Structures are given as C-alpha cells and as structure tokens.
Structure 1
Amino acid sequence: MNTKYFLIAIFVAICHLTSKAQSYLPMENSFSFGGGIAGGITECKGDYLDIAGNPACYNLGAEFRHYFTPNVGLGATYEYIGSSKYQNKMNCHYIAPTFTLRGLWANGKQGFWCSGGIGYLNYSDELKSGKYGSSTFSHGYFAVSLGIGYEFAVAPGFGMQIKAECIMADWHSNPDYTPKWNRYDPDEYQSLFNNNLSYISLGLSFIIGK
C-alpha cells in the first residue's frame, strides 16, 4: 500500500515538472473525476465506523464547474464514500451545488481553490456482527461540505488536482448548549449545532475542460 501511494506521488511530481509552457487550466467549464481515502471524524454509537473500529474508507467523486470569471465558479459535485470490514458494509452518496473561489498564478498554469456546498447525503450500512447484532439502515440527511485544493496544468485544458474535503451531515441542535452569559466559563467554546456524521477525505483528480 505504501509503494502504491509513493508511485502516485512520483507520477504527480513528473506531470507537474514536465508541463509545457502553453499549458493552462480550464477557465470557463471544467469537469473533474478521481478518488482517494477517507475517514470518519465523529463518533456515532452503533453505526458502521463504531462497529468496524473506524477503518479507512475509499472515496470516489466527480464535479462540474462553470467559471463566471477565472476566479469564481458555480457547479455541482457528487461524492461516494464506501467501506467494508468484518462482513459489515457502509455506503454514502453525497450530491450538492457548489460555490468555488480560485486564485491563479504562473499564467493560469497553477491554482489554489476553496469550495463549499450545501446538499444531500444518503447514508446506509449493513451490519452483520458486533455487540449491537445484525441490522440494515438507510437514511438521508442535510449535509454541508468544505474543500480546498491545489491544481496544475499538464496540457491545454487538462490538469490534475490534490484536494482535501470534509462532509458533515445529520445536524441537530446541541442539547448541552448554554448561552454564553449563563456559562460558568464565558470563554468556553460551545456550538449551537452538532452533527453525527463527518468524513474527511484526501485524494487526486483529473481535470478536463476549456
């Protein structure tokens, strides 16, 4: 597994170093697709990650963006997060419209972007073992995503990107929230809303467009 990711890193470095002078990133419409690894960052008792011991998941995704200017774009994204361990399975499907801000340099050959989305996540799991017994579960949730990435051109209208993203779903009001004026320690941080499903991913994507 370590060798695999090392070879991917070498491939990315070679693509970056050998990109031609006339290369550029898409400036109007772009479509990206790729994948990576993901993991849960919340604890929800009795779900797949709890039963399976919080294993690493795999992530696949695709995104379309239309840039109104080279720095501002709207689009739509689809993300899939899946995992299986000890006969237990989990599947997550996330879809959302997105808003992207991008900074470009090197004559449009490189860019750094941040993106946000508000959409829908469908979570399902199939649990075959564990202290909670066998069960199946499927439910849809309101979800929010935040992502950042670095992209570079390999050829005219073609590039690659390295990105990190967080998807947060199953939002609810925090029953332990106390107004600041009524807290024993006014400087203690408390969130009015919490969520039970949060995933963070790191991956590579190919970009095509014009």
Structure 2
Amino acid sequence: MALAKSDRSWISGLAGEGIVTLGDPRLKAQTVGVADVDDVAELLTILVERLRSLNGAGLSAPQIGASVKVTVVEVRKTDVFPDRPEFPLLQMVNPVIVARSQTSITDWEGCFVVPGLMGLVPRAETVTVEYVSPEGERVASEFSGYVARVIQHELDHLDGVEFLSRMPSLETLTTVQNFVDFHRGKQE
C-alpha cells in the first residue's frame, strides 16, 4: 500500500492554503474557551478536512486564524514519516494537560506554521489531557509516545507557542528535505 504524500508545499517551505505562518499575530493571540461545542462544530469539520488534505498529524484553530481552544489530531503514516505510529481521529475542545511524565523524549518536529523546517524538541513521554468531545462529553485520557508529542505540540498553539521555542538549541534546525535525506530515523 502506498503511503500518503506529505504536503509538497510544506516540504518546500510554502504555507498550505489558509494556514497562518510564523510572525502572524494571530498565532500569539490569546485563545478563548468554548462554552458550547455546537458553536465550533463547523470549525472542527474544517480542521479535520484541512488536516487530512495536508496529511499532517495535528492542527489547532490558531493555525487557521481562529483564536479558540480547539484541536484535532489524527496520525497517519506518510512518505516523510513512514515509521510514525498511527492514531485515530481525536477532536478536542478546551483541552488542558493536567499531568506530564517526568520522562521526556527528544524527537523531530515540524509544523505547518513554520513550513519547510524541522528540529529536535524534548516532550513529556506521557500526558494526561482533559477536554470536551464534539458530543459535549467531558473526557480525561492519557496519551503516550508519538501521539503525546503531537498533542503537546498542538496544545502549545493554544498558548501561542511554536515548536521553535521548545527547541533547546537551534543547531538541529533543518529543512524537511535535509531531514529526509540525512536525519530521518536518527535522534541526535
């Protein structure tokens, strides 16, 4: 079975359609909580469709210019990330990390708001997140490994933080193409 292709514009350093990029003040704007999940049903649909069209792992409302606490995650294997473990669609309204493991893992991250670049970022190995489902149910779930990394990355967007701020050193910053050619499968 052929792997989905990662967004070629993103790989080459161009933002995908409708994606807010680094330096746009909307990425730093304070996000507001959602009182009624029905108010963000259409936004959730847009985020899921956009995430799938880009073949990404996660997308938060600020990345498309909406300053609300809404995130979607769906991890699929792609040609750039053929080894990442898959995770089914997760839609979170008002998500909050309530616990983090002391153990962290440093691994590669990229982001649609920083097209064409990747770097090594330490993240907690396990997180517990409280959120509201699209059906209005309050949920508390624990996530580990790669999906925990994606969730932490996406929830950072709700606080106006990009992965570059989490990098202990910009020396690992690389283009996506150089990641594929020289770094994929290796931690430095």
Same fold (TM over 0.5): no
TM-score interval w.r.t. the shorter chain? Answer: under 0.3
The structure carrying a bigger strand percent of its residues is: 1
Given the two structures, how large is their TM-score scaled by the length of structure 2?
A: 0.26
Larger radius of gyration: 1
Given the two structures, how large is their TM-score scaled by the length of structure 1?
A: 0.24
